[in-house]
Amino acid sequence: MSDVLQTHHDGRLLRIALNRPEKRNALNVQLCRELVHTLERAEQDPSVGAILLTGNGKCFCAGMDLSEVASGDTGEITAIQEQLFTIGSRLGKPLVAAVQNAALAGGTGLAANCHIVMAREDAVFGLTEIRLGLWPFVVFRSVSAAVGERRAVELALTGRIFGASEAKEMGLVHEVTPHLEGRATELALALAESSPTALRSGLTFVQEVRGRDWKTAGEIARRIRDEVFESKDFREGLQAFLEKRAPRWPSLSSTR
């Protein structure tokens, strides 16, 4: 078992916990590499329906491990972080973050890569790289996609730290709750039981239309929707609705 990452299966939900509490879950090369590998493996595992990402200890993630940067190969660090901070655009399964306390710099970028972000009331965020004479190069795209480019530029320029309520207002966080673990688990478990066909098709659509013109996006929407219309899951969902019962997804039952 890894000493920097902990995983646990809860039915169709895969729980992943960053496990460097003594370093505030700072992202060193090992943690980044193992997290990318674990997420990519979950993407290919039909028994996994959704993923919940948390951090052990006081903080969610304090960002890049600066001690490693000072003495390590920055090229290697940049390469693995490029893989990590684009992971949200490659996953076809819901990735939910449960954020407590600090999610700074790379921690903010990690949260922005998740499809849904839940935060405790004490959570704080910030693109603080500018304070070190740096710019949040590899996380900027995901943060910009979450909050808009103009807001992301402001956050990167000022390096200011902001709370969970403001993060919710700008779209980085979806829900602020004092009951973080329970609410995040409840949501993630529900997602894990949704139609795998619909989830993957929807997330594929979001990824494919990003940056496309209106006409091309419409063509992609029609193509993917027609594919879903022909799926067994949609036929079951429609029949269950008409019969006023819970659906039994064919693509889900085949993975149990």
Mean pLDDT (the chain) is: 96
> Using the 8-state DSSP alphabet, how is residue 78 labeled?
H
Confidence of residue 24 (pLDDT cuts 50, 70, 90): very high
* pLDDT score of 219 more than 80: yes
**How much is the pTM?**
0.95
Contact 126, 108 (CB under 8 A): yes
Amino acid identity at 242: L
CATH 3.40.50.2300 assigned to 5-192: no
User: Rounded to whole angstroms, how far apart are CA atoms 119 and 124?
Assistant: 9
How many CB atoms lie under 10 A from the CB of residue 52? 27
Active site residue 22: no
Amino acid 256: pLDDT: 52
Strands 13-18 and 5-10: antiparallel
So where are the chain's domains? 5-192, 196-253
User: Rounded to whole angstroms, how far apart are CA atoms 213 and 42?
Assistant: 32
The model's pLDDT over 178-203, given as tens digits with 9 standing for 90+, comes to 999 999 999 999 999 999 999 999 99
Residues 6+ apart with CB under 8 A from 118: 96, 97, 98, 99, 173, 174, 175, 176, 177, 180, 183, 184, 187
Percentage above 70 pLDDT, the chain: 98
Q: Across-strand partners of 51?
A: 14, 95
Q: Domain 196-253 adopts which CATH fold?
A: Lyase 2-enoyl-coa Hydratase; Chain  A, domain 2 (1.10.12)
Q: Which of 40, 129, 154, 186 is catalytic?
A: 129
* pLDDT score of 35 more than 80: yes
